[in-house]
A and B are shown apart, each in its own frame.
Chain A
Amino acid sequence: MLNISHISKQYANHQALTDICLHVNRGGMHGLLGPNGAGKTTLIRIINGIISSDSGSVSIEGQPLSPQIIRSLGYLPEERGLYRKMRVADQAVYLARLRGMSRADAQRELTWWMRRFDMTGWENKRIDQLSKGMAQKVQFVISILHRPSLVILDEPFSGFDPINVEEIRQAITDLNREGTTFILSTHDMSQVEQLCTTISLIHRSRIVLDGRIDDIRRQHATHRFRLRCPDEIRALPQGVSLSAHHQDRGVHTYELQKAPEMTHNQLIELLLPTCTILSFEEIMPGMHDIFIQTVADLS
C-alpha cells in the first residue's frame, strides 16, 4: 500500500529524517511512534505532499505521489483547526470537495457520520459554537469523509474524553475492517497495542525499531513468567530466579525469571515437581516499556 524508500529531510540546521524506509500493507494498521521532535510529523507531511523530501521516494499502491493520490488520502493533523466562523456542513463539504468528492456525496457521507456519532443537528452550527472535543470529532469526520483508502491520523485520541476515545477507536476499527489502511502517530501506547499490528519507532530522525508488534515484543522478551499455584514452592529449580511473590485467597502468584537459553517447556518440566500449576504465562513487555527502553538505550 504505502512504500517509503530512503527518505531524508534536512531543515536549516536540523536533520529531521535520515534514510527512512517503511512499508505498510494494504488494510494494515501501522503505528508511528517516537519521542517529541523525532521526525514523525515531518514524515507525515512528506507522505501528505505538504513538504518535499531532500531525497528518497514515496509511493502508494506502486504509484509515486501525485496531486491526485495525495488528494485521495485522509489526514488528521496533530494541530487541529477548522474555520471558526464557518458552519460544520459548509467546511466539511468544502474540504471534501478539495479532495475530489462531489457536493452531493460529501453531504450524504456527512449525514451518515453525523448520525453514527450521534451528532445530528451539528451541521448547521459554527465551529466556534462547539466545544473543543466536539470540534475535534468534526475534524475526525472530515478526515475520513471522502472514504480514503489510506488515512493518516496524528494523535487521533488527544483531547477526547474516554467515551469519545472509544467511539473514535471503534470507528477506526470498523473502517480498518472494511479495508482502510491506517497510520497512527500517537504517544498512547495502550491504543497502539489495541489497534496496531505493525509499528515504526523513529528516534533522532532514524527508524530504530520496525515490524510487527508481536515480533517486537518477543524480541524484547525479558524471560519472565507468571505462575499461579495453590501451594507454596519451597525451592526453585536451578536456572530460575524469583522476581516477585504474593498470595491471595489461597493462591500463590510467582513472577519468575528464567535463564535466556532455557526453553518454555524446559521451565515447565522443572516446575512440575515443585507445585500444582493453575496457570502459566509469559510476561511480555508492553510497548510502553519497549519505547522507553529503546529510546533510553539509544540516548
Chain B
Amino acid sequence: MLSLIIRHEYLTRVRKLSFWLVALLTPLAFVAIAALPTLIMSIGGSNRLVLICDESGLYADSLMLMNGQSECTYARATEPFAALTLHNTWPDDDVDAILHIDRDLTLGGQAVLYGQKQPDMNIKTTVGSQLSEVVRGQRLAAYDLPQVGQIIRDSRLQVDLATRRIDQQQSEGYESEIATLLSLLMSIIIYMFIFLYGNQVMTSVMEEKQTRVVETIVSCVRPTDLMAGKIIAIGLTGLTQIALWLLLGGSLIGVLNLSGSLIPSSGGLHALISLLTGSQFAGLTALFLLFFILGYIIYASLLGAVGSLFENQQESQQFMIPIMIPILFSMYAAMYASSNPDAALSVWCSIIPLTSPIVMLARAVYGVDTWQLVLCIALLCLTAWGSVWVAGRIYRNNILNYGKKGSWKRLLDSIRSR
C-alpha cells in the first residue's frame, strides 16, 4: 500500500506542468542571477563630455591625453569658468560636466566637478581617478628618478595565498573560497528543499483534509502510512528536481562556458569543476544526502502534523512560525559557520538537531571532529524518529476533525491520546 501511495503522490507531482517549469527555469534563474552583475557591469555607459576649466594650466593636456581610456571625453573650455557659468546657466546640453580646477592641486588648489544636475557617482569616480593619476604622474616626474614608473609597477606584487589542511598537504584540499562557496551552496539547497517541500507536505495534507478525500483513503490505509507515503513521495519529487537542476545547470554552464568571474575565487569555474570531481566530494555528497533526508523528514513530518490540524493555510500561521524560525535561523547560522566553522555558535548549531542539517554541512567542508559528526547524526536520527512519532499521533487524531479550530491544547491532547 505504501508503495502505491508513494507512486501516486510522486507521479501526480512530476506530471504537473509547474514541476517542469520549476525544473527548467530554476537553473536558468540561478545562472541569470549569477551572470546578471557581470552582464550589467559589462554594459558600457554612454560617452560623457567633460569640459575642463583648468586655471592652473597643469592638468588639462594630460587629462585630454586620456580620452578613449574611459567613458569620459575631455575637452578644454574656450572661456573662463566664470564666463562659462554666468548667471548659473549651462553652456551646452551636450556637456555632461564641467571640471573646474582653480590652481595647482599640490599647493592646495581645489577641483570641483559641476553638473547641470548633481553629477552621478560613475562620472565622479572616473574623473576623480583619472585626475589623481595625472597628479600622481606629475609628482613622480618631479622627483626625476630613472625608471621610477617601472619600480612602482614591480612593487605592486600580489601574493596568492594557498590554503591546505595539514593532513592534506599532498592531496587536493579545498581553497577557502571554494570551501565557503560549496558549504554555503549545500546549506542553501537543504534550506530551500526543507522550506519548499516541507510546505508542500503541509499544503497537501490540508488539501486532503479540506476536500474530505482523506476519509476515503484512511478507510483503506493507515493514516500514518498515508502521511509517510506523502512525505517520501514529496521528498523523492524534490530529489528528482535537484537531479534535474544539477543536470541542466551542469549542461548550461558547459554550453555557455561562463567566465570564471561568476565564481568568486581565483580558480574560478575550473577550480570548482576539479573540486566536484575530487575524491573528497564523494564523502561530502554522502553527508549532504544524509542531512538532506534527515532534515527533511523532521521538518516535513512536523509540517504535515500542522497541516492535519487545519483546513487552510491562514489558520496555520501560529503553528508554522515556531517551525520556520529554526529553519531561518539555521540559514544565518550556516552563513556564519561557513566563515567561522569552529566558533562556539557554529559548533552548537551543527549539533542541535533542528539547526544541524543546515549548519553541519557548512562546517563539514572544512573538516569536523568525528565525535561531533557522530553526535550530530545520532541526535538527528533520534529527533527524526521522535518527530515522525509525534507527527503520526497528531495527524491520526486530527485529520478527521473537520470544522474544529486548531489550538495548542488540541495539539497536546492529540499527542497524549492513543
Contact = CB atoms under 8 A, between A and B. Distances in A.
B211 A98 contact: no
A79 B215 CA distance: 8
Given A50-B400, A52-B418, A81 B220 contact: no
B213 A82 contact: yes
A125 interface: no
Contacts of A86: 12
B274 to A, nearest CB: 46
A108 interface: no
Contacts of A45: 400
Given A50-B400, A86-B12, A94-B8, A81 B216 contact: yes
B214 interface: yes
A50 B211 contact: no
B216 A75 contact: yes
B29 interface: no
Given A12-B417, A50-B400, A79-B402, A142 B216 contact: yes
B403 to A, nearest CB: 10
Contacts of A95: 216-217, 220
Q: Which applies to chain A's interface (DSSP): helix, strand, loop or mixed?
A: loop
B390 to A, nearest CB: 18
A203 interface: no
B219 A70 contact: yes
Interface residues of A, number: 29
A79 B219 contact: no
B4 A98 contact: yes
A95 B219 CA distance: 10
A49 interface: yes
| Residue picked from A52, A98, A142, most chain B C-beta under 10 Å | A98
A81 B413 contact: no
A50 B213 contact: no
A79 B8 CA distance: 23
A96 B12 CA distance: 17
Interface in B1-47: 1, 4-5, 8, 12
Interface in A6-38: 11-12
Interface string A247-289: 0000000000000000000000000000000000000000000
Contact of A71 (B8, B213, B216, B220): B220
Interface residues of B, number: 23
A83 B216 CA distance: 11
A40 interface: no
A77 interface: yes
Contacts of A180: none
Contact of B211 (A67, A71, A81): A81
B222 interface: yes
A97 B222 CA distance: 15
Contacts of A142: 216
Nearest to A80: B212
A11 B4 CA distance: 32
Chain B CB count within 10 A is highest, among A12, A50, A70, A99, for: A50
A98 B418 contact: no
Contacts of A185: none
Nearest to A100: B220
B213 A81 contact: yes
Nearest to B12: A86
A81 B215 contact: yes
A142 B220 CA distance: 12
B221 interface: yes
B402 to A, nearest CB: 6
Nearest to A41: B400
Contacts of B400: 45, 50-51
B416 to A, nearest CB: 9
Of the listed residues B212, B213, B214, B418, the one surrounded by the most CB atoms of chain A closer than 10 A to its CB is: B213
A77 B8 contact: no
A77 B216 contact: yes
Contacts of A52: 418
Interface string A63-103: 00001001101010101111110100000001101110000
A84 B212 CA distance: 11
B271 interface: no
A270 B351 CA distance: 96
Contacts of B218: 50
Nearest to A54: B418
A15 to B, nearest CB: 14
A200 interface: no
Contacts of B215: 50, 77, 79, 81
A77 B219 contact: yes
Contacts of A49: 219
A205 interface: no
A149 B214 CA distance: 23
Contacts of A84: 211
17 contacts: A45-B400, A50-B218, A52-B418, A70-B219, A70-B220, A75-B219, A75-B220, A79-B215, A81-B211, A81-B213, A82-B213, A82-B216, A86-B12, A95-B217, A97-B4, A98-B220, A98-B221
Interface of B: 1, 4-5, 8, 12, 211-223, 400, 402, 413, 417-418
